Amino acid sequence: MFNSADVMRYRLWGVGILGILSGSPVAASMGCSPSGADASRISESEGAAMTGGQGRQTLRISATQAIRPPAKQAYRHLEGSPLSADSARRAPGEQGAPNYRIHNPGSAPDRRPFFREYSDRKAPPFVPGERAPRGPGDAVDVQVDRGQVLRPLPRTLFGNNAAVWDGANLQSLAMFDRLKAVNLPLLRFPGGSTSDTYHWDGAYPPYAVAQGWNVMSQSWAVSTAEYMYMVRRLGAIPLITANYGYATYDTTATDGNPANAARLAADWVEYCNAPNDGSNPNGGKDWAAQRALDGSPEPFGVKYWEIGNETFGNWEVGYDPEGSTYAENFKTIADAMKAVDSSISIGLVAEVDTPGQPWTAAVLSHPGTLDRADFLIVHDYFEYIVAPGQLSDSLLLAQSSQIGERKAWLDDLVAVNTARAPGSIPYYLGEYNGTIPSNPMQISLVNGLFVSKVLGELATTGWAASSIWDVLNNYDTSGAFGAGDSGFLSVNQPGVPDFTPRPSYYPFYFYTRNFGDHLVGVTSSDPAVTAYASTWSDGATGVVVVNEAASSKRVTLSLSGGEPSERANAWVLSGDSLDAEQVTLNGQRASTLAGGPLPEAVVPYSLRASPDGTFVWTIPPNSVGSVVMY
- pTM for this one? 0.85
Residue 256: what pLDDT? 76
pLDDT digits (tens, 9 = 90+) for 248-296: 997 555 677 999 999 999 999 999 999 999 999 999 999 999 999 999 9
Residue 383: what pLDDT? 87
Partners of 520 in beta bridges: 149, 533
pLDDT digits (tens, 9 = 90+) for 320-348: 999 999 999 999 999 999 999 999 999 99
- What single string gives the DSSP state of each residue in 580-619? -SBEEETTEE-SSSSB---GGGSPPEEEE--TTS-EEEEE
Is-contact 539 563, C-beta < 8 A? yes
Pairing type for strands 159-161 and 465-468 reads parallel
**What domains lie within the chain, and their CATH numbers?**
4-71+155-512 (3.20.20.80), 115-152+517-629 (2.60.40.1180)
Q: Does 67 score more than 70 pLDDT? A: no
Q: Does 71 score more than 60 pLDDT? A: no
- Band the pLDDT of 438: cuts 50, 70, 90: very high
Within 13 Å and on the Cβ side, how many CA atoms surround 630?
21
Mean pLDDT of the chain: 85
Is-contact 18 476, C-beta < 8 A? yes
Q: Give the dihedral of Cα atoms 607, 611, 613, 614; nearest 10 deg.
A: -60
pLDDT digits (tens, 9 = 90+) for 187-211: 999 999 999 999 999 999 999 999 9
pLDDT digits (tens, 9 = 90+) for 120-131: 999 999 999 999
Q: Does 408 score more than 90 pLDDT? A: yes
Q: Does 99 score more than 90 pLDDT? A: no
- Band the pLDDT of 538: cuts 50, 70, 90: very high
- The residue among 490, 545, 475 whose CA lies nearest residue 514 is 545
Give the C-alpha separation, 312 to 75, whole Å.
39
- Band the pLDDT of 109: cuts 50, 70, 90: confident
- Band the pLDDT of 387: cuts 50, 70, 90: very high
Give the C-alpha separation, 130 to 380, whole Å.
40
Sequence letter at residue 557: L
Q: Give the dihedral of Cα atoms 454, 455, 460, 461; nearest 10 deg.
A: 60
Q: Does 4 score more than 80 pLDDT? A: no
| Mean pLDDT score, 599-623 | 97
Q: State residue 425 phi and psi, 5-degree precision.
A: -120, 125
Percent of the chain with pLDDT over 90: 79
pLDDT digits (tens, 9 = 90+) for 517-531: 999 999 999 999 999
